């Protein structure tokens, strides 16, 4: 595992003009989020700021991601709140945070970060859209002055710790995100509204018109300055709606190291071996790691340079950060999508943006608290709302919808579930639905395929046959008719579920009741006995040919002792039969001819192809040496080659041969397409294919020469109807089928 903790100097110098403004933008957003999440977690406000610094500086330096930003996360508030209550003190909880960091380092060393690669893209896109929508919905009340909810809270349901205790304006009882959003409309503060709208307008104009020209000036900083000036002007000169202290950032003032030590807490080491501490530490580690991996995957999607996070390195950095956060009194940290999204939106390029934001938090707390507290929450809400609109776009819904239900449904469920619950629940449901869809799609694809050869059938199994295929296989096997031969082909199969194995074995054991012969082909779960049984059946079927041959010889010699002597003297066939290779169309049997009476050539779909040297050699020998009087092209209804040619499926090498049949279809397309009944269309294609092969024979020079010289052979087109055993003469007239035959194809053989 390659872990890179370095920060190349050329990257810092080259990208500082991007990272410094981006770090400032993230800083302005991070401060109120750190405070709000700490309050919602039931932890000291200083704990949120400490974690913001550690997440920015320490984790930022050693992160596996260039753009993600780490800090206190809303997704951990419930765990932190219940953890403090369970352990009885914040100091005991800090020890659990330290242990969480140790667990995370172990996760990184064991390479668990690679699990993030299995998260579906549709879920990640849904997560980003949901975060964008949450930013819009959650920050809207702050934009218009209803600051009843702490900034940074992302969960749908609201508890007492999510309520801003400093808010003094009119308020209603709040239950969830939607009630806050709805009640905000009834509690608009005009002064805050003006501040928020002006801030939003300035940010949009700056981003659209001036950001590219003045990259060194971050839009967020400009918005903050404008917000401070507008709120000051409203409070002192306009009086349309005063901005109270609860409408501003409220950073605790720490003026010295002594002041920091007095305002923070440290772990309670006496509870190191307490089982509850270990359990809560492990819970934090798991949840924080999951949120981190989700965040880095999401930020990677937003990265213009499309860099890939080293997730194992990221877990090591996160673990180190949580150890330090616990030691210094901070709450647990994770990579946070909101901060990372602001970083990307502001144009950040490297880890230095994260480090910059962390250092600025230190400076603000130690030296600039009074100035930072002049920033209206409405201006910060404008920054977050604008970021939200960049993440949440109707176009992404249209894009995912066009990809099909297997992408859109997990995406839509992820968005909905995150907005109505929290990040982890939404992502878990999205992944679960993706898995269900994958299983459903796997069930739909041609994992099982029946090839019908009449009385002989082949069941072709796919690579992975799971218990989900059990009913389908059982149904297919139950439909096998009596007196059939079924081959179960497992040559491509890598895995067969035990339930499916049982179904197949049970079918084989009872197949004799329907006189069905079962043949296994490379089925891995066959035991030695079944393999020996197969070998024995194959031996018997092979030897049966010699037994039948001896019986045939005996019958012939009994009726005519000189039969084979005459047959060995030579052949004088009157007919050349060009038929299909189908085993159901034996030339001698269907015409009632004996050996020596018919010269035979067979191929798939009885084709006469001018590049087939084999077929042409047979025809030339039959015409010029054997002097056959009749050449018969015989097709048959139900021809598998004809069917395969029009199915638009790949069959391998044979596709080159079947293309000749497609050419026949092309020549007769209008007639064939007019036939609505598929069986009748197939029968007609068999017939016109025979006619075209007769025409192809008539194009050959040696047939034309023999006809001109001797008046033979005559060329005929037949179709054999397997369903009744009858032969049908199509009465092919070359001059009628091809009126221009002589003008185009006739060869002067003189």
Alpha-helical segments (H) within 303-421: 311-328, 337-345, 352-367, 369-372, 377-391, 394-402, 405-420
Is 472 noted as a catalytic residue in this protein?
no
| Residue among 675, 679, 666, 661 nearest 721 (CA) | 679
CA dist list (Å): 311 to 75, 115, 296, 318, 710 = 19, 9, 8, 10, 86
Q: Are 56 and 70 in contact (CB under 8 A)?
A: yes
Is 582 noted as a catalytic residue in this protein?
yes
Contact residues for 30 (Cβ-Cβ < 8 A; gap 6+):
52, 56, 69, 71, 339, 357, 361
For residue 163, what is the DSSP state?
B
What sign does the CA torsion over 362, 151, 281, 59 have?
Answer: negative
- Out of 601, 636, 682, 683, the active site residue is 636
Q: Are 366 and 181 in contact (CB under 8 A)?
A: no
- Out of 39, 162, 351, 580, the active site residue is 580
Phi and psi at residue 336, to the nearest 5°: -120, 125
- Out of 142, 582, 682, 683, the active site residue is 582
Is 639 noted as a catalytic residue in this protein?
yes
Is 584 noted as a catalytic residue in this protein?
yes
Residue 451 to residue 702: CA distance in whole angstroms: 40
Q: Give me the DSSP letters along 502-533.
A: HHHHHHHHHGGGGT-EEEEES-TT--HHHHHH
Residue 384 to residue 203: CA distance in whole angstroms: 11
- Out of 39, 469, 639, 683, the active site residue is 639
CA Rg value for the chain = 41
151 is written with which tokens? 């900034």
Residue 727 to residue 590: CA distance in whole angstroms: 8
Residue 112 to residue 738: CA distance in whole angstroms: 73
| Residue among 79, 66, 9, 77 nearest 38 (CA) | 77
Residue 65 to residue 335: CA distance in whole angstroms: 10
- Out of 4, 584, 663, 673, the active site residue is 584
Contact residues for 411 (Cβ-Cβ < 8 A; gap 6+):
122, 123, 125, 126, 129, 397, 400, 430
What amino acid positions are annotated as catalytic residues?
Answer: 580, 582, 584, 636, 639
């Amino acid at each position: 595992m390659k872990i890179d903790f370095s920060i190349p100097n050329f990257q810092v110098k080259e990208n500082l003009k991007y990272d410094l403004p981006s770090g400032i933008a993230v800083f302005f957003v991070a401060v109120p989020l750190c405070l709000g999440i700490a309050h919602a977690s039931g932890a000291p406000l200083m704990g949120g700021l400490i974690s913001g610094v550690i997440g920015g500086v320490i984790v930022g330096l050693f992160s596996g991601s260039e753009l993600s930003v780490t800090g206190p996360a809303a997704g951990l508030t419930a765990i932190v709140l219940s953890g403090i209550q369970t352990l009885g003190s914040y100091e005991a909880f800090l020890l659990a945070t330290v242990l969480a960091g140790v667990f995370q380092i172990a996760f990184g060393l064991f390479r668990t970060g690679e699990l993030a690669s299995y998260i579906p893209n549709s879920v990640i896109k849904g997560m980003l859209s949901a975060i964008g929508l949450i930013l819009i919905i959650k920050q809207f009340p702050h934009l218009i002055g209803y600051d009843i909810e702490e900034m940074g809270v992302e969960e749908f349901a609201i508890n007492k710790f999510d309520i801003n205790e400093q808010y003094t304006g009119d308020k209603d009882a709040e239950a969830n995100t939607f009630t806050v959003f709805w009640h905000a409309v009834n509690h608009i503060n005009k002064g805050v509204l003006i501040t928020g709208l002006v801030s939003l307008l300035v940010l949009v104009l700056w981003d659209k018109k001036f950001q590219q020209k003045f990259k060194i000036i971050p839009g967020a900083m400009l918005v903050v300055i404008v917000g401070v000036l507008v709120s000051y002007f409203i409070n002192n000169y306009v009086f349309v709606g005063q901005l109270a202290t609860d409408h501003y950032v409220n950073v605790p003032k720490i003026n010295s190291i002594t002041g920091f030590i007095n305002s923070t807490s440290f772990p309670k080491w006496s509870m190191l071996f307490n089982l509850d501490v270990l359990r809560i530490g492990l819970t934090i580690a798991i949840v924080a790691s999951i949120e981190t991996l989700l965040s880095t995957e999401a930020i990677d999607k937003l990265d213009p340079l499309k860099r890939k996070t080293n997730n194992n390195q990221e877990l090591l950095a996160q673990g180190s950060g949580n150890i330090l956060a616990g030691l210094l009194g901070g709450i647990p940290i994770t990579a946070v999508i909101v901060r990372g999204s602001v970083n990307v939106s502001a144009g950040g390029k490297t880890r230095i943006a994260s480090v910059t934001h962390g250092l600025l938090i230190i400076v603000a707390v130690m030296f600039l608290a009074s100035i930072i507290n002049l920033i209206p929450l409405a201006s910060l809400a404008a920054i977050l709302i604008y970021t939200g609109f960049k993440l949440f776009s109707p176009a992404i819904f249209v894009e995912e919808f066009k990809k099909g239900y297997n992408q859109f449904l997990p995406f839509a469920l992820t968005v909905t579930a995150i907005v109505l619950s929290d990040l982890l629940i939404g992502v878990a449901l999205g992944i679960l639905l993706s898995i269900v869809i994958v299983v459903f799609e796997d069930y739909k694809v041609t994992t099982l395929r029946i090839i019908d050869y009449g009385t002989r059938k082949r069941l072709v199994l796919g690579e992975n046959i799971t218990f989900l295929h059990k009913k389908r296989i059982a149904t297919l096997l139950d439909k096998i008719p009596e007196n059939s031969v079924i081959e179960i082909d497992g040559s491509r199969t890598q895995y067969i579920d035990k339930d499916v194995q049982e179904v197949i074995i049970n079918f084989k054991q009872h197949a004799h009741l329907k006189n069905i012969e079962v043949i296994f082909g490379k089925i891995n779960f066959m035991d030695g006995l079944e393999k020996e049984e197969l070998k024995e059946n194959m031996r018997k079927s092979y030897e049966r040919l010699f037994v039948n041959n001896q019986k045939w010889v005996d019958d012939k010699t009994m009726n005519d002792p000189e039969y084979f002597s005459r047959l060995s003297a030579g052949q004088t066939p009157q007919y050349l039969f060009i038929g299909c290779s189908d085993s159901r169309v034996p030339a001698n049997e269907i015409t009632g001819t004996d050996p020596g009476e018919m010269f035979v050539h067979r191929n798939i779909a009885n084709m006469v192809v001018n590049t087939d040297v084999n077929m042409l050699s047979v025809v030339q020998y039959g015409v010029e040496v054997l002097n056959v009087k009749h050449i018969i092209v015989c097709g048959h209804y139900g021809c598998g080659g004809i069917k395969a040619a029009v199915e638009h499926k790949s069959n391998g090498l044979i596709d080159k041969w079947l293309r000749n049949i497609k050419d026949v279809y092309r020549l007769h397309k209008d007639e064939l397409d007019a036939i609505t009944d598929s069986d009748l269309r197939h029968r007609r294609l068999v017939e016109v294919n025979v006619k075209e092969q007769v025409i192809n024979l008539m194009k050959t020079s040696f047939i034309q020469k023999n006809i001109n010289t001797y008046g033979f052979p005559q060329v005929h087109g037949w179709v054999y109807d397997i369903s009744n055993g009858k032969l049908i003469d199509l009465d092919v007239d070359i001059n009628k089928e091809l009126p221009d035959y002589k003008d185009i194809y006739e060869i002067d053989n003189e």
